[in-house]
Each structure stands twice: as C-alpha cells, then as structure tokens.
Amino acid sequence: MVVYKKGDPEETLESLREFDLVVAVMAVGIVMRLICPALRNKWTDRPVVAIDASLRSAVPIVGGHHGANDLALHLHQNLGVYPAITTATEAADRPSLEGAAESLGARLANRDSSKEVNLAFLREDVPIIRLSGPKVVLVDEDVAVLKRSGGVVVGLGARRGVDSSEVLEAVASALKSAGMGVEDIRVIATAWIKRDEIGIKRAAEEMGCPVVYLEEEVLNAQSPTTESRASSLGLVGVAEPAVLALSERLIMPKRVYGRVTVALGE
C-alpha cells in the first residue's frame, strides 16, 4: 500500500501500476481527475481510497469489492476516520458475490455474471450450491461460477443463545483432534436460521474467519452420515450438511461439544 499526497500525475499513474492498494490524501475530485486515465475495468484497476487531510473520512473511489472497502474499514479501525462506503450491497447491509467468493477461498470464473448476481443479493438470499465433477455445467449469464482453492470448512451447529466462548472452544477442540489449527480454516458454514446468533458472529470475528449461511434447500440436498436433532426443524442436519455443501469430502463427522456441534471438511 502507498500513501501519497497531491503530486505529479505521472507519479500517480505509476503508483497505480506498482502498488496493490492506494490511499490518496486529497479531495475526491482531484483523485478522480488523476486516476481516470489509468482506469480500465473493475477486475484489474487498483483499489483507491481518498482520505481528507484532516483524517475525517475515507472514501473508496474504485475497487470497492476488490479491497477498497476493506481498506476504508481498516483506516476506520486504526485512525478513526469515517468509512464512506457506497457500494450497493454494503449500503443495504447485504452480502456480495465478491465477498462470497473471498469467504469461500474461491475465484470467480465468469466475471460477467457479477452485476446480475449482486443485484439478486440486494433482493434475496442467493443460494450457494457445490457441484463435484466430472461434470459439464451449462449456466445462464446470471449464474456465477466459483472455483475453489484449499482450506478447511467448519460446519457449525449450535443451540439458541450460544456464547462465543463455547463456539471458540468447540472449534478449537475439533481442529485439534484433526491435527489442525484456526489458521487452516477457509470458511465457517452454518444454517440460515443462525444469522442472528451473536455468539457465532463474535467467535468468527475473533478467529478472523468468514461465515456462510446456507439455505434449507442446500442443506437438505446433502446426505449426512449421522442423524440430527435438526430434523424437528425439517432439516437433515446443520453441521455435516453445511460441510458437505461446501467441501469435497468430510474429514471429521459431526461431534457434539456441549451446546455446539462441529464437523470438518476439505
């Protein structure tokens, strides 16, 4: 990341080519005039955040979903500036395709789908479905195709009102039994009915891991190896189905740790 003040336009363009993230200490209008000649497309343009000289506001200019929003939030946490994030999904407190890809440790194979899928995220909960091959998949333009990288998927079930300390202890115990650590986690997966569980959210934040909330049809499409008390809710399970939905294989069937159930996959 480079932080620079108003200077030579050629120096500005060179910074955009050389650095991954750019903080411009100047007015938004000046930033726009400086960087416009270097802009090409949202997938290759460097994320740029403008911050005023009095350190009151940090404004993502380009690359909001590609690092600029996160950078503005980082400046907020460390400098106290206001993160003036304007991307539609964040403004509506909704997930985004780019965020989903990052949380799953995946890359977007068909970038042209991003506009339609992000518009759908604004209206509804877009299901995330895993397909294992070999297969040939024919998709429409409004279907995003994500290709995954490695890492552990932690499937998580919990009783209502669970505390973050219970979640942390359960996940740590499960990972230890599998010879792994928190650093190996790619994503935490659970059911959509757990969105309001503060204990899960706080535990995930402390571990620095994203959480994916899976819908009923996605969970019930799986074939878990053990029975679940979630059957009373019309589900085949939570922890194991969540793992099976997002990973290639189950490496630890669900285990119960007090009020928390954990399964692992990769």
> How buried is 74 (Cβ within 10 angstroms: 0-12 exposed, 13-18 middle, 19+ buried)?
middle
pLDDT value for 17: 67
29-33, 36-40, 183-187, 261-265 — most confident range: 261-265
When divided into structural domains, the chain yields a total of 3
pLDDT value for 165: 95
Q: Please state, rounded to an integer, the average pLDDT across all residues of the chain.
A: 86
Residue 56 above 90 pLDDT?
Answer: yes
Share of the chain above pLDDT 90, in %: 38
Residue 73 pLDDT class (50, 70, 90 cuts): very high
Which CATH number covers residue 8?
3.40.50.11220
Residue, of 17 and 47, whose pLDDT is higher: 47
**Among residues 111, 132, 147, which one ends one of the domains?**
147
pLDDT value for 85: 92
Asked if residue 248 belongs to a domain, the reply is yes
The reply to whether 77 and 121 lie within a common domain is: no
The reply to whether 107 and 155 lie within a common domain is: no
The reply to whether 222 and 256 lie within a common domain is: yes
Residue, of 73 and 12, whose pLDDT is higher: 73
Query: What is the rounded CA–CA span in Å between residue 12 and residue 6?
Result: 9
pLDDT value for 175: 92
**Domain interval for residue 246:** 150-265
The reply to whether 59 and 143 lie within a common domain is: no
The reply to whether 17 and 109 lie within a common domain is: no
The reply to whether 19 and 81 lie within a common domain is: yes
Residue 39 pLDDT class (50, 70, 90 cuts): confident
pLDDT one-digit tens code per residue, 203-219: 998 888 888 899 899 99
DSSP secondary structure string, 112-155? GGHHHHHHHHHHS--------SS------TT---EEE---EEEE
Residue 248 above 90 pLDDT?
Answer: no
Q: Where are the extended beta strands (E) located within the chain?
A: 2-5, 22-25, 48-51, 57-62, 82-83, 106-108, 146-148, 152-158, 185-191, 211-214, 250-257, 260-265
Asked if residue 125 belongs to a domain, the reply is yes
Asked if residue 92 belongs to a domain, the reply is no
Handedness of CA 241, 215, 157, 207 (dihedral sign): positive
Residue, of 3 and 116, whose pLDDT is higher: 116
Asked if residue 165 belongs to a domain, the reply is yes
